[in-house]
Amino acid sequence: MDKAHTLAFLCDSLRALAQTPSPTGMTHLAEALLMDKLRQLGFSPWQSHKGAVFCQLNQVREGAGILLSAHIDTLGLMVRAIKPNGRLRITQLGGYPLQYAEQENVTVFTHAGREIPGTLRMNQPAVHANKDLSTLERSDENMEVVLDMRTGSKAETEALGIRAGDFIALDPRFVQSGEGFIKSRHMDDKASAAVLLTLARAFSRAEAACERPVYVLFTNYEEVGHGAAAGHPAGIRDMIAVDMGVVGDDLQTDEFRVSICAKDSGGPYNRELTGALADAAARLDLVYAVDIYPYYGSDTSAALHAGCDYRHALIGPGVAASHGYERVHEDGLWNTLMLLRGYLAQPV
């Protein structure tokens, strides 16, 4: 496997995914992108009723199946109401402090398919007119979306085709800043989705292999908790959620490592599978960390709570400043890809 070309494919895929808006609940554009890319690689992907993308990466029919998931839905906003002044009251999609989205450029997607630009900001954002600006709570009452359109009334905004329930995407501000760093919103979990797509490419080129049936699953409702709850192929024994590694506090994960989670808010991960992944990382000489994520849930919880009898694990690239303007590094992406490829190559 040529590292430079593989990483270039991974980073290009990541850029394309990051720049495709997919706030949770409006993920059809990212689904279509993945369906296209998987077909271009020679696969036959399929979708569940709610839009999750599935694909088998090899032709193996017998043996304990393994499911690798990443989520393509992201944080975002929705129109809650149109104010008398024509601006938008918002409601959040997913959990994050609103100051992480303050002054961000946004796009409103109307029901009829129009895309209207605007900015999320404080109701009175001028320093010269608001002495309390720095101390006011960043809340959906104190913040609003101002459209880049000539509108000063509810009727004028309605005439643009905007109504309650329209989705709003935050500008990802994708920057490949040199030295291998990538800064962008939504690296959670598009970084892992790009890793899985690159793993698919490796299978398509016979640069990866597995004796067991291997499936990838791109879920589209992880941020609201039911991403991987349904639609799985039969015969799965193991599920590995590939999702962001937490950077912070007393954790060992950083942006250069593949992070292996031993326990999160949902309790401990499967001891055998998690141990096997850590052993594989050590054997492959990868830069990795085993950590506890104090405030975290993954798509495996959705699957287990839905009744799936799986061994479950969680790994992923370290993502700094999660749910804000996030940062990853090529090394973390590469170590995640190599751990998946190396673990899958192990004899059953």
222 is catalytic: yes
Q: Is 188 in the site for Zn ion (CB under 5 A)?
A: yes
Q: Is 326 in the site for Zn ion (CB under 5 A)?
A: no
Using the minimum distance from each CB to Zn ion, give the nearer residue, 188 or 255. Answer: 188
CB of 109 to Zn ion, least distance (A): 22
CB of 74 to Zn ion, least distance (A): 9
Q: Is 166 in the site for Zn ion (CB under 5 A)?
A: no
Q: Is 189 in the site for Zn ion (CB under 5 A)?
A: yes
Calculate the dihedral angle through the C-alpha atoms of 81, 86, 87, 88, rounding to the nearest 10 degrees: 20
Mark the segment that binds Zn ion (CB under 5 A) among 11-19, 111-119, 241-249, 279-287: 241-249
Angle at 210 between CA 208 and CA 216, to 5 degrees: 80
**How many Cα atoms occupy the beta-carbon half-sphere of 139 within 13 Å?**
5
Mark the segment that binds Zn ion (CB under 5 A) among 77-85, 89-97, 182-190, 230-238: 182-190
Mark the segment that binds Zn ion (CB under 5 A) among 55-63, 103-111, 119-127, 181-189: 181-189
Using the minimum distance from each CB to Zn ion, give the nearer residue, 77 or 88. Answer: 77
The full DSSP string for 13-80 is HHHHHHTS--BTT--HHHHHHHHHHHHHTT---EE-TT--EEEE-S---SS-EEEEEEE--B-EEEEE
Calculate the dihedral angle through the C-alpha atoms of 114, 116, 120, 122, rounding to the nearest 10 degrees: -120
Give the active site residue among 104, 222, 223, 326: 222
CA separation for the pair 338, 348 (Å, rounded) = 18
Using the minimum distance from each CB to Zn ion, give the nearer residue, 189 or 238. Answer: 189
Q: Is 243 in the site for Zn ion (CB under 5 A)?
A: yes
CA separation for the pair 117, 105 (Å, rounded) = 7
CB of 48 to Zn ion, least distance (A): 19
CB of 319 to Zn ion, least distance (A): 8
Using the minimum distance from each CB to Zn ion, give the nearer residue, 166 or 299. Answer: 299
Q: Active-site residue numbers? A: 222
Residues that bind Zn ion (CB under 5 A): 188-189, 243
